[in-house]
Structure formats: structure tokens, C-alpha cells
Chain A
């Protein structure tokens, strides 16, 4: 038996699952309990969280990134394979990014992407059995914020928990730093961060701030 807000372990069962019209949304660390289908089984140690009206998830200290559809991730181009790029997003397998998934790309006019470039992309599909697929345009075929990042930034690996904390609108760190230094940051939910500022000194200071945030 597991209650909301408590620390739970794999194998615990969540009973009295709330739903709307028979639909419940579950995040990482949970799966349907096969023995009693209207309950949830926990598959990861962590805090059981719930958000009104029908969303459940586990907040643990997971370090491995598991791709999920719709995630915005940062990846490094590892290979060029014909019409498709292989991108390292930190998951078990490289993700595929078709050359045509960039804004304004056609078969004749392909985007200029080199091996080693950093790419900010959205996960189009992610299944256990298939390689994840990335896309760099939204549903209107516009790039928006997605695409190849400039060459003069720095890519840093941080923990998944810290990225989630920084991406929360309630977190004051990024806007507070923004009042002090002009800087650009890209955070991927796969635990990667790309950082650029005007001066080298500023970059070091920002890095130290984020390292300090990681510690607590």
C-alpha cells in the first residue's frame, strides 16, 4: 500500500487510483498492476507524486535517461547515414533524425549538419523495441527554438533531477542569474545543458552556480 507523498519502493501498489472518464495519466516509475488491473504497481524507488486531476508519477534519483515521446532533448550528432543522422541523446540507443525533419529542408537542399554538432530536438516517437526518432520542426513545420545550436557554446552533463528542477517555472535560479549576466541556456530533459555567455568569466561563474545547485 502506498500513499501520495510517501517514499515508495518497487513492488508497492497504489490503490484507489483517481481517474477522469476512466483515464489515468502515469509518468515514469509506474506501470499497471497485472494482478489487480485497476491499481498501479511501482517500478522505481522514490517519492510518489500526484497532481490533480489524474496524474501520477515517481520522483526518484534516476540517472539514466529513458526516452519518452514529446521530450525536448539535447543531442550530439554521432553519425551521418545517408538521409538520416544518428544522434546521441544519452539513451541506450542512438536516436534517428531524418535530414528532412529540419525547417525548409528538401531532398535537394539538405541542412548543413556536421558530426559533432549539438542539436536541440523533440522526440517524435520512443518505444522500447525501436530506436527513438527525433524531429526539429513543430506541427506547423516551423523550427521555433529547435535545430542546430551555434558552435561557440559549451555542453555539460548534469543530473536529471537538476534539469527538472531548473525547468520548473517556480525555480528562481535561471531568471535571477539572468538579471546579473547576459547568457543563453538550453536544457534538455535528458540531463544535458548547453551554455553560452558573452565572456569566458561569466560562463565559469554560471557553471559554478549550477554546480552548487546540483549539490543541494
Chain B
């Protein structure tokens, strides 16, 4: 509504001394409108060409979360080790906890071999099974005998 009123103000009124601020405002609005009209076609073309993704280049350090390269072990440089306590050793602890949660290789191998056995049983025909079972029984007997 206000904009409409301002647009109606005549040049004569805007030239008056007490209308200085309003005059500046109106001029700025007019310039903005002109600028938009001039660039609107170009902006859309540019945008269409450039796409909407912004790519930020960064170093491999931040990509792979690499640590600070200055390290000291076994009390060689106590100052550095004091600084390391804040970041390096903390990161190491987190990493070790993560490792503990994961299944160890041995567990994985055991689990996988049991799976192979159960799947293998499915494919052995009933005759083989009987033979195997009898063999197993035989072995059991032998063992108990010893």
C-alpha cells in the first residue's frame, strides 16, 4: 500500500526539502526495478548453464580425516606428547572401541564355516548321510572305548 502511495507522489513534491529521505528511497526503488528488468533474462540463462551445485575444493587431509603429523612416542618429546594427549590418544581410544565392537576375524571364520557345514548337509544325499552317521557312531564308540 505504502509503495503505491509513494509511486503516486509527484516530482514537485519529492523536490521539497522535507521529502529528501523519501526521494532517496523512491529513487533507489526505481533503480532496483530497472536493474532487475535489465538482468532478468541474463540471470536465468546463466543459472541454467551453471547448475545449482556448489563445489568446494579441499585437501586430502580433510577428505580422509588425517591427523596432525607431529607425533612423539615413549617420552622422546614430552611437550608434543602433552599436546597429543588432547587429540591423538583420544582418537586412538575411540578407534579401539570401534574395533572391539566389530566381529573379530576368528569369529567370522567360525560363523562362516558352520554355515558352510549346514549348507553342505543340505546337498549330501541321504545315503551319504547314513554312511557318515554310522562312521561317526563308530568313532564315538572307539573313543568311549579308549
Which residues of A are interface residues toward B (Cβ below 8 A)? 17, 19, 22-28, 31-32, 36-38, 40, 49, 51, 55, 57, 68-72, 74, 120, 144-145, 163-164, 167-170, 174-175, 177-179, 181-189, 196-198
The CA of A75 and the CA of B74, in the complex, are separated in Å by 26
Shortest CB–CB separation between residue A33 and chain B, in angstroms? 9
Q: Is B136 part of the binding interface, using a Cβ–Cβ cutoff of 8 Å?
A: no
In the complex, the chain B residue whose C-beta lies closest to that of A51 is: B63
Contact B55 A184 (CB under 8 A): no
Interface centre among B66, B70, B72, B91 (most CB of A within 10 A): B70
Contact in complex: B77, A184 (CB < 8 Å): yes
Query: A28 to B64, alpha carbons, bound, how many Å?
Result: 11
B107 on the interface (CB 8 Å rule)? no
Stretch at the interface among B44-52, B115-123, B124-132: B44-52
Please indicate the chain B residues that have their CB under 8 angstroms from the CB of A55 in the complex: 58, 62-63
Q: B49-75: which residues lie under 8 A (CB-CB) from chain A? A: 49-75
B64 and A22: CB pair below 8 A? no
A148 to chain B, nearest CB (A): 12
Interface of A is mostly: mixed
Residue pair A164, B59 in contact (C-beta under 8 Å):
no
- Which residue in A37, A167, A178 is a CB contact (below 8 Å) of B73? A178
Number of interface residues of B (CB under 8 A): 35
Contact residues in B for A72 (Cβ distance below 8 Å) = 61, 68-69
| Chain B contacts for A23, CB-based, 8 A | 53-54, 56
Q: Can you spell out 24 A-B residue pairs with CB atoms less than 8 angstroms apart?
A: A22-B54, A23-B54, A23-B56, A24-B53, A24-B55, A28-B59, A28-B60, A37-B51, A55-B58, A57-B63, A69-B59, A72-B69, A120-B69, A144-B83, A164-B64, A175-B92, A181-B73, A182-B76, A184-B71, A184-B80, A187-B69, A189-B59, A189-B66, A198-B76
Say whether B95 faces chain A, with CB atoms less than 8 Å apart: yes
Task: State the CA gap A129–B64 with chains docked (Å).
Answer: 26
Q: Is the CB of A167 within 8 A of B55?
A: no
CB of B67 within 8 A of CB of A25, answer: no
| Chain B, Cβ-Cβ closest to A170 | B95
- Cα(A178)–Cα(B71), bound, Å: 10
Docked CA distance A197–B74 (Å): 10
CB distance from A40 to the nearest CB of B (A): 7
A182 to chain B, nearest CB (A): 3
- Report the bound CA distance from A117 to B84 in whole Å: 24
Q: Which 9 A-B pairs have the closest CB atoms?
A: A178-B73, A182-B74, A37-B51, A68-B59, A187-B69, A27-B63, A38-B51, A167-B66, A145-B70
| Across-interface contacts of A27 in B (CB, < 8 A) | 57-60, 62-63
- Are B53 and A57 touching (Cβ within 8 A)? no
Contact A167 B76 (CB under 8 A): no
Q: Mark B18-31, 1 if CB is under 8 A from A, else 0.
A: 00000000000000
B52 cross-chain contacts in A, Cβ below 8 A: 22, 38
Instruction: Specify which of B49, B60, B61, B74 is in contact with A178 (CB 8 Å cutoff).
Output: B74
A182 touches B73 (CB 8 A): yes
* CA distance in complex: A163, B61 (Å): 11
Give the contacting residue for B69; candidates A70, A177, A188; CB below 8 A: A188
Q: Which of B55, B64, B68, B70 contacts A26 (CB 8 A)?
A: B55
Q: Is the CB of A183 within 8 A of B74?
A: yes
Q: How far is the CB of A200 from chain B (nearest CB, A)?
A: 14
Minimum CB–CB distance for A210 against chain B, Å: 13
